[in-house]
A = this chain, B = another copy of it.
């Protein structure tokens, strides 16, 4: 992207990755706020509600991912589908730039955990009970949240890649020794520090959105933990 480091950037730097992370977290917060405009709307998740197979939510996510796959969304390794089975191939010409990430990192998909985390832990914390009939918009809004969280979490691999490239001598011994704890320490210290800085900045911008803020305050730690946990388990 214009100012965002991604798989096509030939100049992936920690500063650019940091900027991208801040924007991605703004996106998560904003999309959670939008989802909070609707109540739970449980028919969205009811597999017997509509005349297609599965829930309205599953239908929207699967069909949207199929469409986005045709236009090349999943050619970018930071974009990972929630239903990777039977996705149609891209109909657009492949991108010319070589990938930045190690192939092992690019193939990691922890969306199953993100799905479970979003619907079973995050959503019940902020969606008020009730039913206003806006199921299509609710499903779209859920998908927006899921994709924003997924992109942010999978983007974590760029952070790891950049940090490794900046200081390979610090990381190589821990990698060779498969020292999970040592790696976690090297990677997470800075992430936590950044998180605090971002919280301060974001709180000013969204000062009147206290409710959504509280959620993020509570969940940030868990999101970050999930992200590293995923990286370590699958990497």
> Interface on A for B, CB 8 Å cutoff?
1-4, 6, 8, 23, 27, 30, 34, 36-39, 49-52, 56, 59-60, 63-64, 67-68, 70-73, 75-76, 79, 91-93, 95-97, 128, 130, 132-137, 139-140, 201, 204-208
The 9 closest A-B CB pairs, nearest first, are A71-B136, A73-B136, A50-B92, A95-B133, A63-B67, A72-B136, A2-B39, A51-B91, A1-B37
From A23, which residue of chain B is reached at the shortest CB distance?
Answer: B37
Q: Is the CB of B132 within 8 A of A1?
A: yes
CB contacts (< 8 Å) of A96 on chain B: these are 133
B-side contacts of A52, CB under 8 Å? 70, 91
Hey, which chain B residues are within 8 Å of A51, CB to CB?
91-92
A139 to chain B, nearest CB (A): 6
Can you tell how many copies of this chain the complex includes?
A: 2
In chain B, what residue has the closest Cβ to A64?
A: B67
Q: Is the interface of A mostly helix, strand, loop or mixed?
A: loop
Contact A135 B2 (CB under 8 A): no
CB contacts (< 8 Å) of A34 on chain B: these are: 27
Q: List 28 A-B contacts (CB under 8 A).
A: A1-B37, A2-B37, A2-B39, A2-B128, A2-B130, A2-B132, A3-B37, A8-B132, A8-B134, A23-B37, A27-B34, A49-B92, A50-B92, A50-B93, A60-B68, A60-B71, A64-B67, A68-B136, A71-B136, A71-B139, A72-B136, A76-B137, A96-B133, A97-B133, A201-B208, A204-B207, A205-B205, A205-B206
A62 nearest in chain B by CB position: B67
Q: How far is the CB of A126 from chain B (nearest CB, A)?
A: 11
With a cutoff of 8 Å between Cβ atoms, the chain B residues found around residue A56 in the complex are 71, 92
A75 to B132: give the CA distance in the assembly, Å: 13
Chain B residues whose C-beta falls within 8 Å of the C-beta of A60 in the assembled complex: 67-68, 71
Residues in chain B near residue A64, CB distance under 8 A: 64, 67
Smallest distance from the beta carbon of A57 to chain B beta carbons, Å?
9
Closest to A57 in B: B71
